[in-house]
Structure 1
């Protein structure tokens, strides 16, 4: 009996899983580093094209929202989701600059830039990596098989050893979830080191609402008259 499409796909996935297991140490180390960066007030910038764009946005959603347990929101931006900025930059500067210009705008030394690509050859991601390094960001990549140009342009890479782009993207998604798991595991210690509370009561940090009418007096002072 001829193998079906599912069986053929799972065979390719199984072939990639054995070498992929070696990524555990890298994801653990990245999770600890990212937790320290975010706990210290830093930011994660992420970008990709096509399916990788969707996966990049998945990652930022898990960090700004949550993966499993409730915790404070963490600063993460998917650059391709800034559609007005992206189209304006593409129109004015060319598509190769759509991520790089945002990296220069939002990135600060010590922030993390994560670029996702199955081919590792996208010109706009290579430009973003160069901008990230020039700006002082730590540059990581999720790619397909290495060597590839994006892997060479970044400080570190998680390269999935599969020639099938679908398998590469599927294991990038696994990597996203495991990376978030490690961030959540390391975050309490990272917050303690940074001198920040593990949970933030936002209501306690907001001034109480003043009811009534605010009046400006002749001497320039303000007072609230009860309504």
Structure 2
């Protein structure tokens, strides 16, 4: 058991080090935070989506903005597409591939931001949401992984975690980025 724990922590450390060694990492995260902050300053909102653990991350991002992160402040407009009644309705009546894009079509406004999360960058429902976001005049920020993937291509800004043997290493980078984004958005809006 001790060896398993040590090995897992070492893998996580190596993945984070690899992410930090990429010379563009800090600049891309900064650009993503500024894009979100500018949208919020203009009276727009951020919509987030993902599948499985990535949906949990999308929800965590939205609740930290609408609730609070480290300090009390006004709530910021952010919504995660996570309503099970809505998702099963669209999945049943249309298809699972449309659960996010239909929501973006209905609720996304010009100047809003879509935070699209996919560890592989190949999830069809996330890709459709990104396309729809652009159709609505929204910016798309992707949290995904390095390498050729459609989500990186569709995004205005793609924050790419190092490729890993398992998606949990990628998700660990994503949650770090989410926390940094929230903190940086708050700083740009004058809440820190």
With structure 1 as the length reference, what TM-score do the two structures score?
A: 0.78
Q: 2:177 aligns with which of 175, 191, 207?
A: 175
RMSD: 1.6
1:9 counterpart residue number: 8
Query: Per the alignment, in what secondary structure is the counterpart of residue 119 of structure 1?
Result: coil
What is the rounded CA distance, in whole Å, between the counterparts of 1:146 and 1:44 in structure 2?
26
Kept after mapping to 1: 8 A contact 2:28/2:157: no
**Matches of residues 68-87 of structure 1 in structure 2 within 5 Å?**
68-79=70-81, 81-87=82-88
Match of 1:120 in 2: 121
The 2-side partners of 1:140 and 1:32 are apart by 11
Decide whether the 8 Å contact of 1:27 with 1:182 is kept in 2.
Answer: no
Q: Which runs of 5+ in 1 are unaligned?
A: 189-197, 199-227
- Between 57-66 and 138-147, report the one with greater CA deviation: 138-147
CA contact (8 A) 2:32 2:157 kept: no
Is the contact made by 1:42 and 1:111 (CA closer than 8 Å) also made in structure 2? yes
- Runs of 4+ aligned residues of structure 1 deviating over 4 Å after TM superposition are none
Gapped regions of structure 2 (runs ≥ 5): none
SS of the residue corresponding to residue 20 of structure 1 reads: helix
User: Would the alpha carbon gap of residues 9 and 162 (structure 1) be closer, same or farther in structure 2, given more than 3 Å must change?
Assistant: farther
Residues 172-209 of structure 1: per-residue CA shift (max 9 Å, x gap): 11001000010010003xxxxxxxxx8xxxxxxxxxxx
- Distance of 1:151 and 1:33 partners within structure 2: 16
The structure having more radius of gyration, on CA atoms, is 1
Match of 1:46 among 45, 48, 68: 48
- Displacement of 1:40: 1.6
**Mapping for residues 82-93 of structure 1, pairs under 5 Å:** 82-93=83-94
Counterpart contact for 1:144–1:165, Cα < 8 Å: no
Which residue of 2 is the match for residue 145 of structure 1? Answer: 146
Matches of 1:97 and 1:134 in 2, distance apart?
Answer: 15
In structure 1, C-alpha distance between the alignment counterparts of 2:26 and 2:176, rounded to whole Å:
11
TM-score (norm 2): 0.92
Give the match for residue 18 of structure 1: 17
Q: Matches of 1:29 and 1:126 in 2, distance apart?
A: 21
